[in-house]
Structure 1
Amino acid sequence: MMNISKILVVIDPKKNNDILVSRARRFALIYGASVELYVAAYSSAIESSYWFDKEGLEKAHEGYLHGKQVWLSGIVKALKGAGVQAEGCVELVKPLHRAVLDRCENVKADLIMMQAEHHSVMVRALFTNADWHLIRESNVPLMFVNNNEWGSHVNVAAAVDPLHADSQPEGLDDQLLETAHDLACRLPAELHVIHAYEPIPSGVIAEFDAIIADYEIYRDKVRDRHREELDELLKRNVESSTIVHFEEGIPARVLPQVVSEAEIDLIVMGAISRSGIDKFFLGSTAERVIDHLRCDILILK
């Protein structure tokens, strides 16, 4: 489970941050954590307006930072009024992901919270965005907050994959379940567990049908193996009353569907490391689904 004493909340002055701040307040209160609201301020318009005027550029930067600090102080004051130990920081830095990672290390934050970004396939294919950099490089849990209000009834889910334990950090699925269970107790919320699996579809490999004469028997064996591993994982970590979604299908399609149908508010997922690559990735399944999950996403490593 997570031990949180400091939350770094990445604020974007160009967006409405009300729900992000509300979520940070809620997490700060349930964990007894302090909050730093962080603005990595940079204005390309200012930079381009003072090419040959160093003194003018410095004054413009000072005015820009002062305006953001005054604006941020209002949010900090509101958090303090709600009983949260809070402070704000504005820095003139870029790129965003590097600034956030450095600030996280400097203040020893245990959790980074920021608004979720949804990018088109074209944009993601051409540009590496700040959120993907953070997913790959952050050493602390990341929570991407969607612009959805939480109602009085909250649903938390853990997405697990017990049969792929060899390709992920040891005990990651247990960590996901422990964290989701802890959150469900603290918020409080109803706990869900999601496991989607896909047997090799008939016809994908030309010789597959010849190798395995009875595909249905093979399919049943695959299902039973996944169910056995999942049941063992659940037995170690959660109560029998936990709602379990055990679904056959492509995980990239199943996860968003379950999240939508079960009205999941927060899903806990894991980051895994691919062999031959020295940075952390979410893994192919999660990379395909994260932009389609219209709920908060908590990523653990």
Structure 2
Amino acid sequence: MNVAKILVVIDPKKESDLILTRAARLARSCEASLELYVAAYSTALEGSYWFDKEGLEKAHRGYLQGKRAWLNGVIGALQSEGVAVEGFVEWSKPLHRAVLERAEHMHADLIMIQAEHHSVMARALFTNSDWHLIRESQIPLWFVHEREWGDHLSVAAAVDPLHAHSKAEGLDDQLLQTAHGLACQLPGELHVIHAYEPIPAGVIAEFDAIVANYEFYREEVRNRHREGLDALLKKSVEPSTIVHFEEGTPERVLPQIVNEENIDMIVMGAMSRNGLDKLFIGNTAERVLDHLRCDILILKSQDPN
């Protein structure tokens, strides 16, 4: 993956060791630089100075000064390890808008952010800001999961060679190339996952008409998806790639394989839709993200419609 500048979103109220370790590891492997970004805001502070503008501005400065002092300590520790890193703190909200504006200003190639987690269920829980970033960001998004990484990783690409789930043509090649690059750089082994449905969404009403020939139909669908996957793999990855070709919905298959194979990171695509469509949760990425117990790298494609 060609990355020169990485924007790392830091929340001082959260434990940040994992995201900093991930970012530093990626920066070293890609020879990239980091910017640690804090979008500071305090609702309590805003509500304490209703009629004192000067007092509010002074409180803002003091609050930001504290965050900068904390961030400078983090930056110093990373610099002592040989990581090229800077920091930026500003008073801003909402978080997703502040992050996107900062990424555009610094010409970031990647945004890294830590998702919320539920310790009992051991899975990521995406916030409102996360969903806005997924819908609106035009650069890759890396969501960091809470689990530790070893020296050798398992990196997976979730592909859809027949575009059954509205992926743009060419996105699968990008997913495979990115996952392959990460597997080489971090390093790790490469997995490719393709889940297909024997009865595509939207044709259930016609099920009675094909039920008599269902097994023949099912085999035809399987063969078509297998041919598409083989063609994609032939031009993009080596024979040593571990391939998972499973019947079922992505919402069920992807989390299952991630858990069974101890996948450390999955690379998947999401669509940037124009107009009102972008307001709705509808693509595969948005339906499965909360259920994946690993880091998630999301690449975007633009819907030509």
Q: What is the CA distance between 1:285 and its match in structure 2?
A: 2.1
Shift in CA distance, 276/95, structure 1 to aligned 2, threshold 3 Å = closer
One-letter code of the match for 2:76? Answer: K
Shift in CA distance, 282/230, structure 1 to aligned 2, threshold 3 Å = farther
- Secondary structure at the aligned position of 1:4 is classed as coil
Q: What is the CA distance between 1:277 and its match in structure 2?
A: 4.8
Contact 2:141–2:299, Cα closer than 8 Å, also in 1: yes
Between the aligned residues of both structures, percent identity stands at 72
- Number of aligned residue pairs: 292
One-letter code of the match for 1:57? Answer: L
Give the distance between the partners of 1:246 and 1:282, measured in 2 at CA: 26
**For residues 267-282 of structure 1, what are the structure 2 equivalents within 5 Å?**
267-274=266-273, 277=276, 279=278
Unaligned runs of 5+ in 1: 120-126
- The residue that corresponds to 2:74 in the other structure is 75
Give the distance between the partners of 1:173 and 1:143, measured in 2 at CA: 17
Shift in CA distance, 283/28, structure 1 to aligned 2, threshold 3 Å = farther
Give the distance between the partners of 1:276 and 1:168, measured in 2 at CA: 17
RMSD across aligned C-alpha pairs, in angstroms?
Answer: 2.2
Shift in CA distance, 166/285, structure 1 to aligned 2, threshold 3 Å = closer
Give the distance between the partners of 1:161 and 1:281, measured in 2 at CA: 21
Give the distance between the partners of 1:281 and 1:29, measured in 2 at CA: 37
Q: What is the CA distance between 1:163 and its match in structure 2?
A: 0.6
**For residues 254-269 of structure 1, what are the structure 2 equivalents within 5 Å?**
254-269=253-268
TM-score, reference length from structure 1: 0.91
- The residue that corresponds to 2:92 in the other structure is 93
- The residue that corresponds to 2:181 in the other structure is 182
Give the distance between the partners of 2:146 and 2:130, measured in 1 at CA: 16
- The residue that corresponds to 2:190 in the other structure is 191
- The residue that corresponds to 1:66 in the other structure is 65
- The residue that corresponds to 1:131 in the other structure is 130
TM-score, reference length from structure 2: 0.90
- The residue that corresponds to 1:236 in the other structure is 235
- The residue that corresponds to 1:214 in the other structure is 213
Q: What is the CA distance between 1:178 and its match in structure 2?
A: 0.5
Shift in CA distance, 46/265, structure 1 to aligned 2, threshold 3 Å = same
Contact 1:252–1:288, Cα closer than 8 Å, also in 2: yes
Q: What is the CA distance between 1:209 and its match in structure 2?
A: 2.9
Superposed CA deviations along residues 86-129 of structure 1, whole A, max 9, x for unmatched, are: 1111000111011001100111110000002359xxxxxxx971
- The residue that corresponds to 2:123 in the other structure is none
- Secondary structure at the aligned position of 2:190 is classed as strand
Shift in CA distance, 283/26, structure 1 to aligned 2, threshold 3 Å = farther
Q: What is the CA distance between 1:251 and its match in structure 2?
A: 1.2
Unaligned runs of 5+ in 2: 119-125, 301-305
Contact 2:281–2:287, Cα closer than 8 Å, also in 1: no
Shift in CA distance, 128/166, structure 1 to aligned 2, threshold 3 Å = closer
